[in-house]
Amino acid sequence: MTSEEIDIAFKHAVKSINEHTEPFPADTLLRLYAYYKRATNDDDIPQGGKPLISAFKTNALFQTRNLSQDEAKQLYIETVDHYFLYRK
């Protein structure tokens, strides 16, 4: 896929996730969170009232630190596709 095709597929995957109303498994949410943050080049450190959740988010980001934006987008797309294919 070209970078442009990845961008289009990524935007479609993000839209699919945002429109989905059922709860997601925690591990899927963490992966999507980390891939999205890398894909959008958002390096903000997770903050919030729940230190344990922030720690999980920080760990997920740490695990994706060597991914390029396109790699993160591709992994986000694959995670979304896998979720919708196997969720039932």
Mean pLDDT of 58-69: 93
Burial 2-22 (b: 16+ CB within 10 A, else e): eeeebeebbeebbeebeeeee
The highest-confidence range among 20-24, 34-38, 57-61, by mean pLDDT, is: 34-38
pLDDT band at 79 (very low <50, low <70, confident <90, very high): very high
> What is the reported pLDDT for 28?
94
| Count of structural domains, the chain | 1
CATH code of the domain in which 47 resides: 1.20.80.10
> What is the reported pLDDT for 49?
75
pTM above 0.85? yes
